[in-house]
């Protein structure tokens, strides 16, 4: 990636936007190692970095119609990688969305997901403790929404409440859990 200049990337972006599979393949070959290293720095796990790399390129292909507008391709790629890493964390719920942070590792070689796994387990335990402090109805609705992935209509049918009431109880539960998490992190 370092030896590829912005002019070359800009030309590839224009060709990719036109639907050129060959240009996308060139882009992939020229940037793949750099992208993998960058995502490894953000995730701290080689397996997650590999998955995230594939996801990044899939996203680039899907959003190819926006590429001609890009003035600084290297900066654009860097920003996309950072946002992609943040979205991965949000989806996995490893870090609360209010305090999204990237784990930047200084060691590039080797992969050790132990620290990440411990942090995730500690956070899950903390959220579970916070959930246990909720009133019973809020607890029930929170668990149905967060763990069982029911929508408010389904929760309403299961609990005998209106979907609006379910939303309100879920909102209050989230607010209380966030408050407890903020107290813990501060």
131: CATH: 1.10.10.10
Question: Per-residue pLDDT tens for 136-182?
Answer: 999 999 989 988 889 999 999 999 999 999 999 999 999 998 888 88
C-alpha dist (Å) from residue 121 to 51, 84, 88, 115, 128:
22, 23, 17, 10, 10
25 is a domain residue: yes
Nearest to 170 by CA among 154, 183, 186, 182: 154
Q: Do 95 and 118 lie in a common domain?
A: no
Residue 32 maps to which CATH number?
1.10.1740
Domain boundary among 40, 66, 99: 99
Residue 98 has pLDDT above 80, yes or no: no
User: 83 or 95: whose pLDDT is higher?
Assistant: 83
pTM, two decimals, is: 0.48
Is 160 within 8 Å of 175 (Cβ atoms)? Answer: no
Number of folded domains in the chain? 2
Give percent above pLDDT 70 in the chain.
83
Range of the domain at 83: 6-99
pLDDT score at 92: 63
Position 106 confidence tier, pLDDT thresholds 50, 70, 90: very low
Torsion on CA atoms 8, 13, 71, 86, rounded to nearest 10:
-110
Domain boundary among 99, 122, 139: 99
pLDDT score at 51: 84
Domain boundary among 73, 99, 125: 99
1 is a domain residue: no
């Amino acid at each position: 990636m370092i030896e590829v200049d912005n002019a070359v990337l800009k030309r590839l972006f224009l060709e990719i936007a036109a639907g050129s599979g060959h240009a996308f393949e060139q882009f992939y070959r020229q940037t793949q190692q750099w992208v993998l290293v960058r995502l490894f720095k953000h995730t701290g796990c080689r397996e997650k970095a590999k998955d995230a790399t594939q996801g990044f390129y899939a996203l680039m292909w899907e959003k190819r119609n926006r590429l001609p507008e890009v003035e600084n391709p290297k900066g654009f790629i860097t920003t996309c990688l950072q946002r992609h890493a943040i979205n991965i964390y949000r989806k996995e719920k490893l870090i609360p969305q209010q305090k999204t942070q990237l784990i930047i590792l200084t060691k590039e070689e080797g992969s050790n997901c132990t620290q990440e796994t411990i942090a995730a387990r500690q956070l899950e335990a903390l959220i579970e403790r916070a959930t246990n402090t909720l009133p019973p109805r809020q607890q029930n609705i929170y668990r149905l929404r967060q763990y069982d992935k029911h929508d408010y209509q389904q929760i309403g049918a299961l609990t005998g409440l209106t979907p609006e009431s379910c939303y309100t109880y879920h909102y209050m539960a989230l607010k209380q859990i966030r408050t407890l998490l903020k107290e813990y992190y501060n």
